[in-house]
Chains A and B, each alone.
Chain A
Amino acid sequence: MEKTLVVEMKNITKRFPGVVANEDVTLQLHKGEVLALLGENGAGKSTLMNMLVGLYRPDEGEIYVNGKHVIINSPQDSMALGIGMIHQEFMLVGNLTVAENIILGLKDLPTVPPISEINEKIIELSKKYDLKVDPTRLVETLTVGEQQRVEILKLLYRGADILILDEPTAVLTPKESQELNKILKKMLSEGKSAIFITHKMIEVLEFSETLMVLRKGKCVGIKPTASIKELSEIANLMVGRPVLFELEKGPFKPGKVRVELKNVSVNSKTHTRKTLDSISFTIRSGEILGIAGVAGNGQQPLSEVITGLMRVNSGSIIIDGEDYTNKTPLQIIKAGVSHIPADRGRMGIVGDMSVGENLSMKKYRTQELSNHHMINKSKVRQFASNLIQKFVIKTPTQFTSAKFLSGGNIQKTILAREINSCKGILIAVYPSRGLDVGAIESVRQNIIAQRDRGSAVLLVSEELDELRTVCDRIAVMFEGRIMDIMDAQDASTEKIGLLMAGVERSEECDS
C-alpha cells in the first residue's frame, strides 16, 4: 500500500556566500513514519530543516505539505501547517510553570488565560502520548528529559502533526532515550510523523523507518532502515570512504601522578546543590581518564577548575606535586596544562582573527615566536604553516579568518595549538562533539598519540563508545559528584548508564 506523503521538499537548493548548503535535495516524509536525517557536520541537515520551519527560504525548489504547494516565510507559517521543531537548545522559561510555558506565545488567548482548563488539556494530551509531566511544576525543577517532553507537548498543544527533532538524544541518558523512543512510537501510531536529525548511527537503527544521508549538501542515499545490515554501510555513505572504527593504541603503561584533585568543591550561585562536590582523583602520565555523564552534571566546571578558569571553594589541585589551587589560567598554562575547551567557537578560537594568529595564541609569549615584547611575524607565519601541514588543517591560507573554517578544521586548529604547546597534561572537553566521522577519528587518534607519548589526559565525553575505546579509566559524574571510577574494560553501557542516572553502586547491588 502506498503511504500518503505529508511533506515533500522537491529539488531544494540553498546557497550561502561561498557555499552551497543544499543542492537539488528532495525529501519525502510519509504519514506515520520517522525519517532519520543523517550527515556529517556541515552536510546541510540543519539548513534543510530550517527551510521547512521558515527560518530560511530556498533559492530553488518547492515545498509541498499534504500535497499542497506552500511558501513558508516564518515559523508562524510552518506552525500553521502543523510543522514544529524542537531545537537542541530548549526554548523554555525556567521560572514559569509547565502550563505557562506551553501557552507562551499563543496568540488567541485572553489576557488572563483559564489556567485550569489549560492544565486539563495538557494532562489529557500527556496521557494520550505517555508524556508524563505535571503542568503545575516550575520548568527549572524538571530534568532535561522532562524538559524535552515539555517541548514536545508544546508542539502537540499547538496541533503539530510533523515534528522535527534536532539531535534530541544528545542531552539524554540512555534510559531517557529509550523513553523518548517509546513516546515517538506512540505518536506515530496516532498518525503523526517525525524527522529526526542525528549523527549517531546506532540511534538511526532504533528510531527510524527510513534514513536519508546528506553529504556536502547533496542527498547521497535514501534507504529503508530495515535494509541496513552493518553500521559501516551508513558511515561510508556519510563520509564517502570506509571509516576505521579501530584505533591504534599502545599498551597501558601509567607513570607518575601528574594531576591530583583532593576533595575539590565549588558552590553554585543559583542552586543549593554544589556544582562540584568533593571531587578526588589522580591522572598519571601515559593515562587517559575519561569523564562520563549527561551534559551539565559538572563536567565542564571540573575542566575549568583544573585550567584555572573557575575558582574552587575548598579542596586542592596539585600539578606535578605543587599546589595549583586557584592559580591564574596563565600560571596553569605555564605549568604545562593544555586545554581543548567544550565550546570551540566561544572559548577555543577567536573567529575574527586569522588561522595563523589562532595557532600562535599559546606560544606568542615564548621566545619561539617573540622577542621580548615584540611578536616576530615571520616566525609566526613559519610556525603556523608548519602546524597547518602537520595537522592537515584545510584552510585557504593561514590569513583566512578562523570563523570561515568548518567545525572539524576549527577543532583541528585548536588541537594543533594545544598539542604543540602541551607539556604533558591535556584537558579535552567534548573534543569530538558535533564533528563528522572523519574528523572524530583524527581527534581521537591525536589524543591517544599524546597519551602514548606519556601525557596525562583528561577526556570529558558524552559518547560511551568514545570513552570505552579511547580511555584507560572512566569516572562517571552525576550532580557534581563522581559516582565511581572504573577501568575502561570493566565499563559496560548498562553500568555507566545507571551511574549516569544517579543510581549508586550499592543500590544497584541491593536490588
Chain B
Amino acid sequence: MRFIIEKRNEKSKKMQVLIPIYSLLISFVLGAIVLLLSNANPIQTYAAIFKGAFGSNTKIQYTLVKMIPLLMCGLAVGIAFRLRFWNIGAEGQYVMGVIGITWVMQFWTWLPNVLVLPIGLIMAIIFGGLWGGIPGALKAQWKVDETLTTLMMNYIAIGIAEYLYISAWKAPKNNMGTVKYPDFAWIQRFWGKVHYGIFIALILVVILYFVLYKTRWGFELNMIGKNSEAARCQGVSIKKNIILAMLLSGAIAGLAGGIDASAVTHSLTKGVNSGYGFTGIIVAWMSGLNPFVSIVIALFLAALETGSDALQITMHLPSAMGEVLQGLILIPLLAGSIFIDHRIKPARVKGDK
C-alpha cells in the first residue's frame, strides 16, 4: 500500500482545530519517551510544567509578562512574513530598541520627567525600525538576501549591546549593565508583576488586524506576498512596500524591547538578547500571521517557557530538559500544519501487485 499526499481544494476548517490537538498529543508521547529515559515520571513532569506556568497568581503573572514581548515580536515578524520577506532579525531589532530607550534614559537627563518614558519608547521604535529598514532597503535596492542580512544584523546588535553594558555605558559600581532607569520612567505594574505594556501589545493587535485586513495598504501587502509580479503589474511598488513593511516590523520589535526594558529589567544588561525575537518567528508562523491568533500562541509559548523553568526546582531535572520538551512540543505542531492544506490518501492503482 502506497500513500500519497495531495493538496486540498480549500483549507480545512476542521483540521485547523484538530491538528493542534493531535500534534500536542503526539508531542506529549514523544516527550514522555525522553522523560522515561531520564527516569522522570512524564505525567508528574507535565503537571509540573502546567503548575509552573499557571499554578499561582505569581506564576500566571510571570507567564503574562513573558507573553508581552513574545506577542509583539510575533506581530513584528508576521508583517514582514506577509510579504514573504523572511525577517529573522527581530532579535536584533528588539536589542536595538533596548539600546535606544537606554540612551534616552541615561543621557537625555535634560528632558522633563513625564517625557522620558514616551521619548524613550519612541527612540526604541526608531532604533528598531532603522535596524529593520536597513535589510529592507538592501533587499529593495540591490536584492540582497534578507535571511542573511537580518540574521547577521542580530549579531551586530548583540555585539553593540555587549560593548555598551560591559564598557561604554557600564554603571560605575557594577561589573556589567547600565545604571537603572529613573523610577519615574518605569512602566507601572497593575497586578503583581504584570505591567501596562500588555495593553500596548493588545491595542497593537487590534490596530494591525485593522491595517492588514481592512486597508488598501494591507491589500497591497497581501498581493505582494502572494504574487509580487502580479502586484507590480497592478502598479504596486514592491520596493517601497518592502522598506515600509520592514520599518514597521523593526519598529514593533524595537518597541517590544523598549517596553520590556522599561517595565522589567530597567536597564540594558546581560540577557538583553532573550530569544524573544527568535521565538517570535514561531509565534508568527503558528498563528498563520493572524494577529488575534498570535495572542493565544504567544501565551502558550510563554507558559511553556515559565513552566519549564520550574522543572529544575520541582522535578530536579536538568534545565536543558525544559528546552528539549519545548522543542518536542513545537516540532509536531509545525509539521502538522501541512495537513491543513494537504491530505493523505492511499494510492489505489489497479494492476498494482
Contact = CB atoms under 8 A, between A and B. Distances in A.
B222 A353 contact: yes
B215 A347 contact: no
B219 interface: yes
Interface in A11-36: 16-18
Contacts of A373: 215-217
Contacts of B230: 346-350, 361
Interface stretch (A125-133, A154-162, A328-336): A328-336
Interface string B212-248: 0011110100110011011111111100000000000
A350 B217 CA distance: 16
Nearest to B215: A373
A322 to B, nearest CB: 17
Interface stretch (B6-14, B68-76, B154-162, B293-301): B6-14
A145 interface: no
Contacts of B7: 17
Contacts, number: 85
A362 B220 CA distance: 11
A61 B219 CA distance: 47
Nearest to A57: B349
B223 A17 contact: no
A57 B8 contact: no
Contact of B226 (A17, A62, A352, A377): A352
Contact of A351 (B8, B217, B226): B226
A17 B6 contact: yes
Contacts of A329: 232-235
Contact of B223 (A60, A309, A350): A350
Most buried by B among A57, A309, A341, A346: A57
A365 interface: yes
B347 interface: yes
Interface in A324-345: 328-330, 332-334, 339, 341
A374 B215 contact: yes
Contacts of B172: none
Contact of A62 (B8, B229, B232, B350): B350
A351 B347 CA distance: 28
A350 B227 contact: yes
List 4 A-B pairs, minimum CB-CB distance, nearest first: A330-B235, A350-B227, A352-B226, A333-B235
22 contacts: A60-B350, A61-B350, A62-B350, A71-B349, A329-B233, A346-B229, A347-B229, A347-B233, A348-B230, A350-B226, A351-B226, A353-B223, A353-B226, A357-B219, A361-B230, A362-B234, A364-B216, A370-B216, A373-B217, A375-B216, A377-B214, A404-B9
Given A350-B230, A352-B226, A375-B219, 20 more contacts: A17-B9, A57-B347, A59-B349, A62-B350, A71-B352, A309-B233, A329-B232, A330-B235, A332-B235, A346-B227, A353-B223, A361-B223, A361-B234, A364-B216, A365-B216, A370-B216, A373-B216, A374-B214, A374-B215, A401-B10
